[in-house]
Structure 1
Amino acid sequence: MMMCQNTARNVEIKAKIHDLNAVIEKVADVCKMEMEVIHQCDTFFKTENGRLKLREFKDGGELIYYDRPDVDGPKLSSYSKSSVTDTTSLKSVLQMALGVKGLVKKKRMLWHYNQTRIHIDEVEGLGNFLELEVVLNDNQTPEDGTRAAQELLDILGIPVSDLLSGSYLDYLNISKPA
């Protein structure tokens, strides 16, 4: 069974982390809350437009479609999610219909700061990353989200040189030998 959610928007930034413990300490200090640890396995499916992934958790998952440019720094992402209780059969159907593009396994540490979801991801085979998702409400512009994300990057001391474009899957595919 799936439960649909309306399309939403966020401004997203990804950055490479060089000192995991230092960044965790800074984020914890800024957020003043306990983090949530989530183990995720994302299966990406072949699509003509945007990206489609089935995110599996310990209990259930989400089917997520999103579209965003692959540029360094802040980028506007439009997405839609649907809750899934039977990830195994849905994955099988999508694999048969679309084909699998790749798999990303990660341990995600999650905090909330105002309207921003702060993730520290330990991505299997790739390393450690910071991801900021500034969830926009209907009356906010992408520029509002970019400002909020930049403020957090400054507070956390993340240099522009560490910002990334693309998805973890893109980087995993680049690192695989041809």
Structure 2
Amino acid sequence: MFLPRYRALICSQFTRFSRSSSWSSSCSQIAAAPPRRGFFAGKSSVNTRRDRDTDNSRVMPSNVEIKAKVSDPTRFAARAAELSQSEGTIIKQHDTFFSCTQGRLKLRDFMDQSGQLIFYERPDTDGPKLSRYSISPTSDPPSLRTVLSDALGVKGEVRKERRLFLIGQTRVHLDAVEGLGNYMELEVVMRPEQTVEDGQKVCLHHICLDSLS
């Protein structure tokens, strides 16, 4: 089991990713307009967990995630590489966030003529969070960005280079965010038989939350 080592990876590396230090509170450095509190907290992975939406007419994927600011990205990357037995995958991302009356809507441009339009719902709370989302791929992110900007208006933008590691059922992201610094994001990939509580337990047990101070 990688659990004790995984906890060690997180416990020595981070300061708490509180609202005062989150992307949302710093977004005026890079965003077109200040978003509402907690806006820049994205969702990216495709998971197996599915939960029914409010009208019970279809299902939406979901996961449990947590974010924190990284104090030593070099050390963190080395430890994550050791635990995942890989050097990680580098992914460039340009996220554009649009005005949305319900939930959150963003266009993720991978800077290689591919992207994803992502709608998601996630509470603005500390600690592990449940995210429900829908994703639609696109082969022309710039044109889609123009249409959505004209129709809805832009809330803000985030550019980052992400390094992705896979450890067990958890996706570990190390993000170098333009203008803001280095952050980590853990996404617990929910299995079909797991509950939200199971996902929260994985987050809490794996990352040693009391050390993120």
* TM-score band w.r.t. shorter chain: 0.7 to 0.9
The residue type equivalent to 1:95 in the other structure is: S
The offset of 1:42, in angstroms, is 0.1
Q: Which runs of 5+ in 1 are unaligned?
A: 162-178
Residue 129 of structure 1, aligned match among 167, 183, 207: 183
- Letter matched to residue 76 of structure 2: V
Instruction: Kindly report which structure 2 residues correspond to 1:1-178, keeping only aligned pairs within 5 A, or say none.
Output: 7-59=60-112, 60-154=114-208, 159-161=211-213
Q: CA RMSD in A?
A: 1.8
* Residue in structure 2 matched with residue 167 of structure 1 by the alignment: none
1:43-86 per-residue CA deviation (whole Å, 9 max, x = no partner) reads 00000111100000122100011110011110000011111001
Report if the CA contact (8 A) 1:73-1:160 is conserved.
Answer: no
Q: Deviations over 1:77-135 (max 9, x none)?
A: 00111110011111111011100000000000001112211100011111101100112
Structure 2: where are the runs of 5+ without partners? 1-46, 48-58
The ranges of structure 1 where at least 4 consecutive aligned residues each deviate by more than 4 angstroms after the TM superposition are: none
Provide the aligned length of Structure 1 versus Structure 2.
155
Task: Report the AA paired with residue 156 of structure 2.
Answer: G
Aligned to 2:18: none
- Alignment partner of 2:95: what SS? strand
Question: Secondary structure, in 3 states, of the residue corresponding to 1:53?
Answer: strand
8 A contact 2:103–2:120 mirrored in 1: yes
Q: Residue 124 of structure 2 aligns to a residue in which SS?
A: coil
Select the structure that is richer in strand. Answer: 1
Distance 1:148 1:77, change over 3 A: same
Opposite residue 130 of structure 2, the aligned amino acid is L
- Could you tell me which residue of structure 2 aligns to residue 176 of structure 1? none
TM-score of the two chains, using structure 2 as the length reference = 0.69
Q: Residue 40 of structure 1 aligns to which amino acid in structure 2?
A: Q
